Amino acid sequence: MGSESGRAVAAMVSLQLLFSALQVFIKLALNDGMDARVLVAYRLMFAATFLCPIAFLRERSDSAISNDKRSVVQEETTASNHEGGAATILVRVVWMC
């Protein structure tokens, strides 16, 4: 458990250092004459460029896992169709979505 808390502390400290460096660079850019609106636009573009592929890959893997769960639920509902009827099937399918 000690190494897990050590990793968490190291991650927090490194993230804080990254944010501090970012603030210094932003301050230097604004002092050098860069327009604040342009700086915000650049920040948003770089964030989208970095985060969109990560979100795409994560959603793709989550949808594959979700499709596996749906097939299991579909098999389960067809096996127990006589127990609850259409309302039980609808609740089970909606719950998994």
| pTM greater than 0.85 | no
Which domain does 75 fall in, by range? 53-97
Residue 60 tokens read as 């793709």
- Tell me how far apart the terminal alpha carbons of the chain are, to the nearest angstrom: 35
92 occurs within a structural domain: yes
Residue 12 tokens read as 């927090």
73 occurs within a structural domain: yes
Is residue 90 within 8 Å of 73, Cβ to Cβ? no
Q: Which amino acid is at 40?
A: V
- Residues 82, 88, 92, 94: is their CA dihedral positive or negative? positive
19 occurs within a structural domain: no
Q: What is the pLDDT of residues 5-60, one digit of tens each?
A: 889 999 999 999 999 999 999 999 999 999 999 999 999 999 999 999 998 888 88
Structurally, the chain folds into a number of domains equal to 1
